[in-house]
Amino acid sequence: QQQDDCGPNYDQTCYNDGSVDPRGVRPALHPGLNRFNTPSLVEAADTAPFFHNNSVSTLEETVAYYNTEAFNQSPGAFTSSGKNRQVKLDSSQVLAVALFLRSINVLENIRSANKLDEKALNLRGKASDEMLKLAMAETEDAIQVLTEAVINPYPAALEKLKAAYALQKSALSGFGFGKSKHLQKAISLRNEVRGLMVDEG
């Protein structure tokens, strides 16, 4: 199926049936929506290095790139009707955007780690350990995302995440009530981290 509602002004041809356009490009489209299915930004912070050629190592540098002349003088800086899409962020705004991306990444890691630890609590033996290893990887990702921040406004959160990881590690070598106690405490610590990072009031 072919639709003429893609591109920056929604006036270009796009395809949602997997067909190839005349330039030989097969767009990644979301079936039925006729829009490009772009990657989520939720866990962007733990996918360094960035860009197609891995040329930028930090999230802050990545955000700052969109301020450069190279980007702002590119063909994508203006729509075909001349609407200006140039980005102009000051240094504090660059850090704020990067921090926002880091924060939503950590919160997703916490959500996932807690869910996996809860599953591990309800399993036994090897199945429990495998689930716990996945939860540990999520906690480790959260630690890495905060550790790599140019400015980390959540030092207490980072320490709690490290403590939660240590508890998970102990749980992996334990069993029975001790394992359960360690995992419940790890979940509790990560919930405290969420409380430090999110004002739910």
Q: Please report how many Cα atoms fall inside a 13 Å half-sphere around the Cα of residue 91, on the Cβ side.
A: 2
Most confident of the ranges 30-34, 45-49, 50-54, 139-143: 139-143
Range from 3-7, 27-31, 48-52, 133-137 carrying the lowest mean pLDDT: 27-31
CA dihedral 27, 31, 36, 41 (to 10 degrees): -120
Residue with tokens 């921040």: 149
DSSP at 32: T
Higher pLDDT, 146 or 84: 146
Q: What's residue 80's pLDDT?
A: 78
Does a cis peptide bond (omega within 30 degrees of 0) precede residue 39?
no
Q: What's residue 82's pLDDT?
A: 81
Question: Per-residue confidence at 117, pLDDT binned at 50, 70, 90?
Answer: very high
Question: Per-residue confidence at 40, pLDDT binned at 50, 70, 90?
Answer: confident
Task: Return the number of other C-beta atoms located less than 10 Å from residue 138's C-beta.
Answer: 25
Residue with tokens 């299915």: 37
User: How many whole angstroms separate alpha carbon 120 and alpha carbon 13?
Assistant: 48
The per-residue pLDDT for range 133-176, each reduced to its tens digit, is 999 999 999 999 999 999 999 999 999 999 999 999 999 988 77
